[in-house]
Structure formats: C-alpha cells, structure tokens
Structure 1
Amino acid sequence: MRKNQRVLVLAALSGVPFIMVLGNSMLIPVLPAIRDALNLTQFRVSLLITLFSIPAGIVIPLAGFLSDRFGRKKVIAPALILYGLGGVVAGLAAIFFKGGAYPAILGGRILQGIGAAGTAPIAMALTGDIFAGRERGTALGIIEAANGLGKVVSPVLGALLGLITWYAAFLFFPLVVVPVVLGVWFLVREPESKREAQHLRQYLHSITRVFEKKSAMLLTSFLGGAAALLILFGVLFFLSEHLETVFQVNGVRKGAALAIPVLFMCVTSYLTGRVIKRRLALMKWLVVVGLALMAGSLASLGFFQNTYLFFAAVSLAGVGTGLTLPCLNTIITSATAAERRGLVTSLYGGVRFMGVALGPPLFGVLMGHGLPVMFWGAAGLAGVTALLAAVLIRVRDMRGPSPAGAGKEPAPSPPAKAALSGEARPVYGLALRKR
C-alpha cells in the first residue's frame, strides 16, 4: 500500500471511532440543560449515557461474530446508519413531544447504542487485518488518538450546539455519519480472508479455546480497558457538574475545560502508538505505568482541594489513559488470528462500553458520600488493575498464533531442486534455465 493510500485508509477508519465517541462525550456538557428542560433527577439524566453504552456492550459480541463471518465493512456501514438514525429519533422526539420526550429520547439512545456496537471495535479489528508488523501498533495508536480527539472536540462541540438548543446535539449525529460511511465503503479495501461457514456454537467453541490459552492476559486487558474508561467518563461527568456549581463555568468555556484531560489523553495515545511498534515488553509496562499514574493522580485529589492541583491531576489521569489504551488495543488485536479477531476485539469493545456506562452513575452515587471517597475509590480501582496487569499480562501470551508449518523449512519445489543441482540459477528470486 502506498503512503497516500495508507493516509486515506487510516483517515476513513479513524472517522469511525471519532464519531462513535461523540455519542456520549458530546452530550456531557448539555446534561444539566437536558435535566432542567425535562425536569429530571441526576440519576435519570445519567441514564442518557448508560442506556447508550449498555446496549452497545451487549450487542458488540454479535457484531464481532457477524464481521468475522461476513466481513467488517458489511457490519460497519449499516451500524453507522443505525447510529445516525437513533439521533434522528431522539431529536424529533424532543421537537414534537417537548417536556414528555424523555422515554422516546431514551429509545433513540438505545438505538444509537445498538448501532455503535458495530463501529469502533470492528474498525479496530479491520485495522488489525489491514496493517501488520510495526505498522499495526502505529495504526492502532492513530485509531485510539482519533477516539481521543473525538473526546477532545466533542465537549466544545456539544457546548456550541447547546447554545442553539439542548437537543441540537441529537440532530447533529446523522450529519457526521454520512461522510464516514462513504469513506469506509469506498476508500477502505478489506483484505480477503477465509471465512468459515461454521455454526455459532462451533465458532464460540473456537473462541473459548483462545481464552483457555490466554485467559489471564485477555481478561486482565479487558479489565484495564473497562477501568480506564469508567474512570475517564466518571471524572468527566463529575467535572461537568463541578465546573457549573462550584466555578460557575458553563457554555463553551465549560466545554473547553472538559476537553483538557482528554486532550492530554489524545496526544499521549498518538505518541504511544508511534513508540510501541512491536515492543511487547514495553507495551505491558506502559499499561502498568499508565494505570498507576491514574491511581496516583486521583488519590492525591482525596487529600488536597486546590483548583490548580485538580486540573493537573485530571490531566495526569488523561496521560495515564493515553498510555494504557493504545497498548491494550495492540495486545488484543495481535494475540488472536484474523479469523477470530472480530469477536475478540468486540468483546473487548463491549467491556469498554460497560466501563463508560458505569462511570457516570457510579461517580454520581459516590459524589453523595464526599469527594475524597469518590477519588479514592477510583484510585483504588486503577491501582488494583495496575497490579493485576503487572502480574498477569505475560509477553509470551501477546504473540499471535503461528501460521501452520511455521518454523519448518518448506520442501524444495522442482524448479528449486533444479537450481540446487546446477540446472538453473536464481536471479531476483526466479529460476532461469541455462541456455
């Protein structure tokens, strides 16, 4: 693949996680406005995040199976269309039902979540299919950076749209879906692979065998991804309330403030993807360091209440997330064969969505017990996960299955035998007979 082709392919694939992450992050700045407009409790408004993420987490394994069976693009394109359609349902409900729109908006969010199941995790699997070797780590770092960039842009974008009306964000989704669908369908060429026409039961059995061999590494990696995003979205949910109630910061200024920790995460994700390449041991320890950095920065906020320290700590937590996620992405995609990669990465994407779903309501509950309890609880989760990663993620488990016959010398073909006997000589890899 030429360099300009690689750029176009990565741009199209990066658009998938970029718009997927808008589904939650763009709403966070306008949650207080939605709460006031629909007269909701803090818990009920948090369900707009949760009921997007839980359906996505549930449906993702099915999307992964379908992508392994029928092809990645055939799942990504319809999923993106369904994602945009959910935004249309939520936006029109807000226009026509006014104050009674909450149940219909939740229905639109559930529809969006089902569509989101076939987006970023499948794009990650497709990236793993297209790029190999050292290019894979870089490509997956760019994909994670695009995810982070979406989180950076979305609070500001959500705040700007909120200046129009509180439901404008819902109607924005279909507008950004169309160019991404076209880019993936026409610019990305999916590699041909042998897709076995096996029953779901047989397929799940083969996946079970992968987990039997690498269960400790895979499950720890899943926990790391879920914990990192639970903490990130919990902090953003808290920050949205805190900026408005304590600092009287709202509108675009609040969106820019929310973007600070995510900006650090985005830049770190990109740099991490550039650095890791195929350095398996480095990936493991960057995961450990990233989670430990999150734990330490959040624990400090339980002891000190200072505005400057607060933003420094959440920024360091963003750096820790940016160190952790690209490495986990590469570990997950590299540890399995291409024929099973769709479901394994989708299971990983599913637990990441569950982390996003649990973050806002969990932090909402912990906020009622005081800020130190909230921050120490989050730090404890990150710290325990870092310890598990240090012990259970092993370098030998990160390597993908070897192709059949790897490590054996192939039997010489007839032309090769002739070459060895002097009847032919190799020139630029071709056997040319002597005249």
Structure 2
Amino acid sequence: MSKKKNGTKNIIALASVPLVMTLGNSMLIPVLPMIEKKLSISSFQVSLIITVYSIVAIICIPIAGYLSDKFGRKKVLLPCLLIAGAGGALAAIASTAFKHPYPIILAGRVLQGIGSAGAAPVVMPFIGDLFKGDDERITAGLGDIETSNTAGKVLSPIIGSLLAAWFWFMPFWFIPFFSLISFFLVLFLVAKPEEQKEAPSISEFVKNVGRIFKRDGRWLFTVFIIGCVIMFLLFGVLFYLSDSLEKKYGIDGVAKGALLAIPLLFLSVSSYISGRKIGKDQGKMKFCIVFGMSAVTLSFIGLWWNHSFYLLFIFLCVSGIGIGMALPALDAVITEGVNNEESGTITSFYNSMRFIGVAAGPPIFAALMSNAGWLIFILSAFCGIVSVFLALLNISSQAKEKKESLKTV
C-alpha cells in the first residue's frame, strides 16, 4: 500500500513539471495581442516571445537528456526548474521596470527555455526509471503526465487572461512562482530511482545513438515527426484562434481565455482516457496514433470547407480529441521502444522535435494569416494525413521486439 502511495506522490510531483512548463509558455498566448499593443511591436515580433523559448529548448534538450543519463534525473531536473523560474523573473522585472523591455523579455525567455530543456523532457524517462518492469504503471504514469501537460494548456489561457486583466505583465511574474512550487514538490516527494548503470562516455554515447538510429530510425523518426506535427498544429492554431477571437469577433480578456480552453479541455480528457486504456497493448498504441491523427486531418478538412464561429470550435474540439488520443500513445511507444540507459537521450530528441513544432507554429500561422488565411487549413490537413500514412507504414505494433533489438546495440 505504501509503495502505491509513494508511486502516487511521485506521479503528482513529476506531473507538476510539465504543468508548470506549459503554464509558463501557453498562458502567454492569449496575452500576445495585448503585449503587441503595449510594446508597439509587430505580430511577428510578438510571436518570437514563444519562438525563442522553443528554439533554445530545442538546442539544449539533447544535452540535458545526456546529462540526466549520466548524472541522474533529479540532479538535472531541480536546477533546471530554478533556471526556468529565473528566466521568468527576468522577463517580469523587465516588463515592469523598463521603458523598452522587449529585448530583455526575449533574454528572459531564452533563460526560461534553457531551464525548460532540462525539466519537462526529463520527466518521461524518470517515470520509466521509477516503475521499471511495470509496463502498465509506466503507461498510466505517462498518460497522467500528458494529462497534466494538456490540463496546463486548458488552464493557461484562462489564468493568463485573468492575470493580464490585472496588469498585462502579470503572467511573467507567475512563472517563477509556479516554478518554485514544482521545485519543492520534486525535491520532497519524488523518490530517488534505483541506481542507474554508468552512462557511456560522449564518444561511446554518440556511437551508440548512431547505431540505434541506423537500426531503428524508421519508427523513431516517424514518432519524432508526428510529435513535431502535433505541437506545430496545436500552437499554431492557438495563436490563430487567439488572434481571430480578438480581431475578427471582438472577444478578449477572460471570455477569450475561456473560449481558448474549450478545445484544450477535450484534448485533456481524451489524453487522460487514452493513457488509462492503452496499458501495455502495442496494438492500441498504434491505433490511437492512427485514429487520432485521422481525426485531426478530417477536422482541418472540415475547417477548410467552413470555419464560421461555431463550426470552428466544433472542428477544433474534434482535433483536440485526436491529439489527446495520439500524445500518450507516442510517449508510450518511445518509452517502451528504447533501452533504459539511453532513454533520457532518445526521449530528449523526441521532445526537441516537439519544441520545433512549438517554435514553428505561431510565426508560420502568423505569416499565413497575413497573406492567405485559407492556406492554414490546407497545410494543417496535409500535415495530418502525412502523419497518418507515416504511422501506418512505420510504427509496428510489436514494440517489445524493438526494445530487444535496442538492448543488443
């Protein structure tokens, strides 16, 4: 019983990390039009507040993954939570005290991206370490982590709008506050996993990773690409929806935040159910990825046909359900398919790809919105259907065989 309670405490504490990292990024999305006006900058410049954070994370995540394999998950996770909080504090101070804060805000977001690189991506292999040998607990734990992540996306537009209604810069101030909460939860509640095998030297590590990608790159790259596509569509659509609600429909403030949360709520519920139902069934993992991305594709085809106010939300809720099905399944495929010694590094590559999607979504959607808005839905549907075919062709339902092949590398 105590073991189960300890497992629950571990999950709660670790789930706070993606929740905090998501809040620290996504709660700025509904505030971006307000920041654009307050700082007198362009739509592209304001989108960089999201993009620079993600670009830095993309570069740093593989480094953090290797360090977590070498020195331990907790030793990397805790300092990075503090760095993320410090980055948020820098942006908050600049936005409050400086006359022209935009460059310092970007610098703070860079620092926050460095911290995030060693925080949220380390959680997935941490779950694998804590529940080693218990596939069902691992899959359920990963489902809880994705649910926390998506719950953060549901709460973030509401919290961001509420804080910005007070002062436009208040969302920046809450980033260090949330980071400290997560830091203390992980510090006191997360057990130290059993001793890991000594990580290889950098040269050996590079050779091992090269062999892994040479042998199993087909399914690994497929999972990476789909993860990137999902985040590209998710953050691009959120940027598009935030801008459209304010400029096209005249809806702003808390009302806009609540509307942004609707499709994300469907995503969160779907993610929770998917994570619980998959278990260790590899066939279900593949089904959830294929069916989920098919739903995403059909929803954007529907939006291309008609994206009036009510249909916009109906189709985006369908897309949210599809993404919610796919994300825990992708996490499970990655975690089940890699050997523990390289899990931190391989999952970090996966998270880097997800951050590429986060970085690319807002500026690309902003550019399309300025020129040919209808292309947004065609591009999104195309990305979805490519993901479906890649999953059908390259993701096997026999992930255990893959894991065994990785152990022989």
CA pair 204-87 structure 1, distance change in 2 beyond 3 A: same
Cα distance in 2 for residues equivalent to 1:128 and 1:364: 38
Cα distance in 1 for residues equivalent to 2:247 and 2:231: 24
Q: Partner residue of 2:76?
A: 75
Q: Partner residue of 1:354?
A: 356
Q: CA deviation at 1:399?
A: 4.4
Cα distance in 2 for residues equivalent to 1:167 and 1:87: 11
Cα distance in 2 for residues equivalent to 1:42 and 1:250: 17
Q: Partner residue of 1:262?
A: 264
Q: Partner residue of 2:109?
A: 109
Helix, strand or coil for the counterpart of 2:305? Answer: coil
Q: CA deviation at 1:197?
A: 5.0
Q: Partner residue of 1:391?
A: 393
CA pair 175-243 structure 1, distance change in 2 beyond 3 A: same
Cα distance in 2 for residues equivalent to 1:238 and 1:283: 30
| Pairs within 5 Å for 1:407-418 | none
Could you state the TM-score of these two structures normalised by the residue count of structure 1? 0.90
1:149 touches 1:263 (CA, 8 Å); kept in 2? yes
CA pair 405-208 structure 1, distance change in 2 beyond 3 A: closer
Q: Partner residue of 2:47?
A: 46
| Pairs within 5 Å for 1:90-169 | 90-98=91-99, 100-131=100-131, 132-169=134-171
The gaps in structure 1 that reach 5 residues or longer are 407-435
Q: Partner residue of 2:276?
A: 274
Q: Partner residue of 1:218?
A: 220
Cα distance in 1 for residues equivalent to 2:347 and 2:303: 34
Q: Partner residue of 2:232?
A: 230
Letter in 2 for 1:222: F
Letter in 2 for 1:108: G
| Pairs within 5 Å for 1:280-291 | 280-291=282-293
Q: CA deviation at 1:370?
A: 2.7
Q: Partner residue of 1:37?
A: 38
Q: Partner residue of 1:298?
A: 300
Q: Which has the higher helix share?
A: 2
Cα distance in 2 for residues equivalent to 1:141 and 1:80: 22
Q: Partner residue of 1:57?
A: 58
Cα distance in 1 for residues equivalent to 2:42 and 2:310: 30
Letter in 1 for 2:92: G
Helix, strand or coil for the counterpart of 1:302? Answer: helix
CA pair 399-24 structure 1, distance change in 2 beyond 3 A: farther
Cα distance in 2 for residues equivalent to 1:319 and 1:285: 14
Cα distance in 2 for residues equivalent to 1:404 and 1:83: 33
Between the two proteins, the alignment pairs up a number of residues equal to: 405
Cα distance in 2 for residues equivalent to 1:36 and 1:340: 46
* Amino-acid identity (%): 41
CA pair 402-40 structure 1, distance change in 2 beyond 3 A: same
Q: Partner residue of 2:184?
A: 182
Q: CA deviation at 1:231?
A: 0.1
Counterpart pick for 1:202 among 179, 199, 204: 204
2:146 touches 2:271 (CA, 8 Å); kept in 1? yes
Q: Partner residue of 2:23?
A: 22
CA pair 399-273 structure 1, distance change in 2 beyond 3 A: farther
Q: CA deviation at 1:198?
A: 3.0
- Over the aligned positions, Cα root-mean-square deviation in angstroms equals 1.6
Once the two structures are overlaid, the 10-residue window that deviates more, 204-213 or 240-249, is 204-213
